[in-house]
Chain A
Amino acid sequence: MSTEPIQNAAWSDPRLSITRRHRVGRWWQGFFFASTLFAILALAALLFSVADKTMGLVVIENKVAPSALSSRPLEGLSKEELISILEANLSRNRYRTINREETVDRRSRDEIYDLVIGEVVRPKVLMSYPLSQSLLRRAELEAEKAERWPEASLEFYTWLKPHFITSPMSASPELAGIRTALLGSLALIAISILFAFPIGIGAAIYLEEYADRKSWLNRIVQLNIDNLAGVPSIVYGILGLAIFVRALGNLTSGAAIGYAGDNGRTILSAGLTIGLLVLPLLIINAREAIRTVPNSLRQASYGLGATQWQTIWYHVLPAALPGILTGTILAVSRAIGETAPLIVVGAATYITSDPTGPFSKFTALPIQIYNWTTQPQEAYRNIAAAAIIVLLIALLSLNSIAILLRNRFSQRA
């Protein structure tokens, strides 16, 4: 046995020597690693730039100093004490207006507290600094504040706080919250998935299990679905506007069932529009999932005298469910972040009442974020950043539900 390398001239192409082949392999490996690293760094930079704005030092100027209202901190005061502050510091007219909306006795202590802050103290954020600067350059910032805003105080402020999530929209960024937008987004997802999931799975089952894959009609349908998944979302917005808001306005405004809706720019129209948008995505993923179900499973079922429907219902769908749920995760992720079609369909940019039903006016998180980023004051950037974090958390929670469901179903096998 010879251990010498093959010296034959026919096997001696220098471009494919063993060292060279290994070197090429290492280059590619390095490239793949660099790609991964780049993606991770980009993601980290994005998260950092958002998170950096959710808290930090702010220059706050109060119209009325809290110390002038009470000797104790305002947070510690009882409802009655807060009411008396409100009564003493507001004009008669303003106090009466507030009372007319809802008498102060019937409002909660926290509501009164918010009123005292919003109507009497009226804090105004003159400048806000990102967290990184606040931590690293505190002395410089204090000097700048002392020079430019001698009257105001420099405080550490958290934009992303429970109050932000539980409060409705407000005209001032210090008081604004995202409850309305968060509920709007969740309702939108619910409506769109309830609408698109059954239709999408149904279409996928039909195309995979019943339709003749070779017929030209089904090929055209397939081609169309694949292309629809790539249509810009604004086009779906226009479609939704034409169909759900205008043509079916009578239904989507609730007028047909006696609801006093004035037009079709409701959460129902928006949910259906988003549903249409994610439908191709759901169909494509569900078809893919159904296609991976081994044929032997279908044959086993048919061989026992099961009908096609029994085979699909008891074997094909359960086996395809994990894949279908993966598609649903993608659909939810897409739906929660859509902005353009909602603007077209008529999302409200300023709305303070929560959605109460399918015929409500609505807003959604991305709309709110977009709206805030277009405002001039610095503080709006901060609440936009806080809202982005909430959006990401909402997205992750919805996805983890779907992932839990998927794992549950795939373990049964």
Chain B
Amino acid sequence: MSSESNHNYAIEMSSVDFYYGNFRAVKDVSLQVIPRKITAIIGPSGCGKSTVIRTFNRMNDMIPGTRVTGEILFHGKNIYAPDIDPVEIRRMIGMVFQKPNPFPKSIYENIAWGARVNGYRGNMDELVWESLKQAALWDEVKDDLKKSALALSGGQQQRLCIARALAVRPEIILMDEPCSALDPIATLKIEDLMRELSENYTIIIVTHNMQQAARASDYTAFFTMDTDRAGMLVEYGETSQIFTRPRDQRTEDYITGRFG
């Protein structure tokens, strides 16, 4: 273990600016994510929440003309350094998307594929079992592993996507509004699951739903859009503090529903 202080954090943003072409979409964000906790990112539409969460695993690289300045430190290294392979980063920092997007393959293959392309050579059946178990899906699908994942319900599909992310053994799981396409019961299941997973994984979740952030997260970061339309971090702290004693007026306006 290195003695550097940033190793106390799962991942750390320092003075990050993000550009789409010439437009600065996110400005000067510094954020330290605590390991094995759930960090929620909340804020009004267009404040750059999704952009920020996608900088953590370099998903924005796919969009031509985007650029990041500042540093995002993971294991003490800037993940945007030239010698870092984003493919490697994405295996260690998994992602669950807004709309469930299982592969049009069997349930088993959905889990096994990621491990296989990453060179996993262990017992695949065991890995599938363990991942589905962790994602609280095993009991529902254990008899239909060969069935198409697209036959599952929306909530099951999203838990399958979580299981799929778990199967490549990431350290951090990013969730970009994972419940926005789900009904309340499926949403609660995902929240329970997040709570269980946070014992072993660091979870960062973007959500539109403030109750969800209040219920399910340990830390909350509130973003808003500045006058130049760039997203910025307003306040970051323990969830209980953000929702009960916000320090910033803008945070208070947002969580009390006066704005947003």
A→B interface (CB under 8 Å): 212-214, 294, 296-307, 310, 314-315, 318-319, 412-413
Contacts and interface: CB of A to CB of B under 8 A. Distances in A.
Interface stretch (B56-64, B72-80, B249-257): B56-64
B127 interface: no
Contact of B117 (A213, A298, A306, A319): A306
Contacts of A300: 97, 101-103, 161, 164
A308 to B, nearest CB: 8
B101 A305 contact: no
Interface in B97-118: 97, 99, 101-105, 113-114, 117-118
Contact of B165 (A302, A304, A310): A304
Nearest to B101: A296
Contacts of A214: 64
B168 A296 contact: no
B37 interface: no
B206 interface: no
23 contacts: A212-B64, A294-B101, A298-B62, A299-B62, A299-B95, A299-B97, A300-B164, A302-B62, A303-B96, A303-B165, A304-B164, A305-B88, A305-B90, A305-B117, A306-B117, A306-B118, A307-B87, A314-B113, A318-B104, A319-B104, A412-B105, A413-B104, A413-B148
B87 A305 contact: yes
Size range of the chain B interface in the assembly:
20 to 34
B260 to A, nearest CB: 27
B104 A310 contact: no
Contacts of A318: 104
B91 interface: yes
Given A304-B164, A305-B168, A314-B117, A413 B101 contact: no
Contact of A310 (B62, B117, B164): B117
B87 A297 contact: no
Nearest to B148: A413
B90 A304 contact: yes
A303 B90 contact: yes
Contact of A303 (B64, B94, B117): B94
B87 A412 contact: no
A316 B116 CA distance: 17
A297 B92 CA distance: 19
A305 B62 contact: no
B16 interface: no
A305 B64 CA distance: 19
Contacts of B117: 304-307, 310, 314
A320 to B, nearest CB: 12
Contacts of B94: 303-304
A303 B92 CA distance: 10
A296 B133 CA distance: 25
Nearest to A319: B104
Nearest to B109: A314
B59 A302 contact: yes
B103 A297 contact: yes
B188 interface: no
A319 B105 CA distance: 11
Nearest to B110: A300
Interface string B175-189: 000000000000000
B196 to A, nearest CB: 21
B150 interface: yes
B148 to A, nearest CB: 7
Given A296-B101, A297-B103, A305 B118 contact: yes
Contacts of B99: 296
Interface in B120-157: 148, 150
B97 to A, nearest CB: 6
Contact of B91 (A299, A304, A413): A304
A304 B97 contact: no
A262 to B, nearest CB: 52
Contact of B114 (A213, A298, A304, A319): A304
A319 to B, nearest CB: 7
B24 to A, nearest CB: 20
